[in-house]
A and B are shown apart, each in its own frame.
With several copies, the nearest count.
Chain A
Amino acid sequence: MDSFLPAVAAADAAPLASEQLRELYSLMAAVRYLDTSAVAWQRQGIIPGYAPELGQEAAQVGSAYAFDTAHDFAFPTYREMGVARTMGVDMVAYMSTHKATWHGGMYDPLASRLAPIQAVVAGSVLHAVGWAHGQTLSGEPGVALSYFGDGASSQGDVHEAMNFAAVMKAPVVFFIQNNGWAISVPTERQVAGGSVAARAAGYGIPGIQVDGNDVVAVYEATRDAFAHCRAGNGPVVVEAMTYRRGPHSTADDPGRYRSLDDERIDAGKDPLERLRERLLAVGAADDAFFAAAHQAARIEEEAIRTGIEALGPRPGTEMFDFVFQETTPALENQATRWREESEHV
């Protein structure tokens, strides 16, 4: 893919090395394996619910691969497991949110450079803008990476975020995964005009649509976007066109709003398969590599499952402990009453 941002010199645009392509595949395999397993965990009663990202591995792994954990900060929705995994977040801590252990997940957001899991659609897009403006104010080089969906793009907060960011030239990459659906509503009845990226021009900022199932294209677009932001040019919109192959969540029944035939046709080619073919074509990997990658993914999933199964409920006192940095007498009284009443029982 050509760079869409003239400001970005070709310097940083060296093609990915074979090793990096293999790493991308390994990441996507790990994510695919964990993702499909998590759906199974739900069926087995290990976790009460999960929002699969089947089909979005290239969009998530490719974008997060361009992220610099030394400087940047990412703001996920509830569907960014592949982003978390690529960033190196503790996956038991991450998946704990789906076990109903703690809303937002149990990983340390500051150390991970990943904001807590966000369940409000478009809830964190403005946070990314504020964080990014903070970088400008303190003269730091960080870039905020804001994830959201095609459905989320309808929320007023996204508009306010893009306008604020553009007015303040805040270093934010607005990264949309347009996966064709917001639960049961297809993009064409959600996104007037058909493209979130096309909205960027209205704010005087660059926007691009990228093939979201091509991990290399996603990586390059995001890398260029980061470079654009880091150079002080303000925000960028990147819209990765992909497809939600699974249900919205384990509680959803896609059969009510789309047929299996539609799914097959609209989903296009599996992003993992595409990368596999590319690796084979350029001779960067062989069957042994793929077998090893899949085996590693299996082992990883097992360890995470073990961790999740071992995860007990949090002590009830934490309900009270984390409300404030400085608790209040009224809340302390409630905690005391709660403790007495739980012991009484």
Chain B
Amino acid sequence: MSESTTATLETATRNEATTKTQSTRLSMQQALNRALDEILSADPRTVVFGEDCGQLGGVFRITDGLQAKHGESRVFDTPLAESGILGMSVGLAMAGFHPIPEVQFDGFAYPAINQIVCQIARMNYRSRGKLPMPITLRVPSFGGIRAPEHHGESLEALFAHVPGLKVVSPSDPHDAYHLLKYAASRPDPVIFMEPKSRYWQKGDVDTSDGGTLTGARIVRPGRHLTLVAWGAMVARCMQVAELAAEDGIDVEVLDLRWLKPIDAQALATSVGKTRRAVVVHEAPLTSGLGAEVAQLITQSCFDTLKAPVERVTGFDVPYPSGDLEDEYIPNIDRILLGIQRVLEYRRG
């Protein structure tokens, strides 16, 4: 089965009328927790584990109550070793299970990179399709919560570069619920990057209809410029778009959602229309995923682009301590200035 990228341009207009009747207001934490609960109920081969995922329910409470409900063999704590957690996932998948491991924070995926890159991402290939790796690795990701060192990292460029992995990041509770259920139902490994600064924001979740779950999503249609973002930056870009609208600038906000495979068609369609693009991410600039997004746009829209794609990103510096976080993460002003540079660009 091949994922479709063409029918993905559903706009922000999740039908409000229908939604009302079928939707609940949930935080992303609640939406993810509910999704896991339903996955565990529906698929007896699913196991959920990681550091503090059992009794405590995870440091972010995403697995809250799941051990009590589904039992200690389905939802369990592991010793404190990320390579162990991911390496164990490989073996469980080989035995026919559908592991949903967690690494507690983005920065603690590094000790497991060897197992992720050399084993999880390659076992299907190495075994010529005989040993699929239906592993959904949940990674509380990105910054913005004034946390200690290594608790605010953005690893999407690394993951997206690894053949054999798929990578997705939801930006709101509705997508969080549906994308997690979708990812967990697929036969390939998915890195599921949760924007931890958005865990407690509430939103409407239509549990009965997730819409198209592959590809990108237009969160706000616009005519003058496309803002491409994912994770926590989507909400920030929406704020930016509202501010820009006050100045008569009509910004389209595209939530990329899938960071691998990237929905090149959605980028082409959107920027084909707006003829200008800014890509926003928290990760450092150099060799970040913004380069890939920009290059995909340039490839498809070279003839019509009015200005080079602009990148507004974290700097090429280690993620700083809380006091400097707001200087590091693209803030509203920096994004607005990026938009301005694109709009004011004149061929020399």
Contacts and interface: CB of A to CB of B under 8 A. Distances in A.
Q: In the complex, is A directly touching B at CB under 8 Å?
A: yes
Interface in B126-149: 126-132, 146-149
B158 interface: no
B91 A185 contact: no
A129 B87 contact: yes
B118 interface: yes
A69 to B, nearest CB: 16
Contacts of B88: 126-127, 129-130, 133, 164
Interface in B169-202: 186-188
B323 interface: yes
B17 interface: no
Given A49-B148, A257-B56, A344-B337, A319 B261 contact: no
Could you say which interface size class chain B belongs to?
A: 35 or more
A341 B310 CA distance: 15
B92 interface: yes
A209 interface: no
Contacts of A125: 87
Nearest to B315: A334
Nearest to A258: B55
B90 A189 contact: no
A52 to B, nearest CB: 14
Interface in A114-140: 115-116, 119-121, 123-138
Contact of A325 (B56, B114, B126, B132): B132
Given A184-B55, A344-B333, A323 B124 contact: yes
Nearest to A110: B130
B123 A326 contact: no
Interface of B: 1-5, 47, 51-52, 54-57, 59, 73, 77-81, 83-84, 86-97, 99, 107-108, 111, 114-115, 118-119, 123-132, 146-151, 163-164, 166, 186-188, 260-262, 264-265, 285-286, 315-318, 320-325, 327-328, 333-334, 337
Interface of A: 48-49, 73, 78, 97, 99-104, 106, 108-110, 115-116, 119-121, 123-138, 144, 151-152, 154-157, 160-161, 163-164, 167, 182-185, 189-191, 251-252, 256-257, 313-314, 316, 318-332, 334-335, 338, 341-342, 344-345
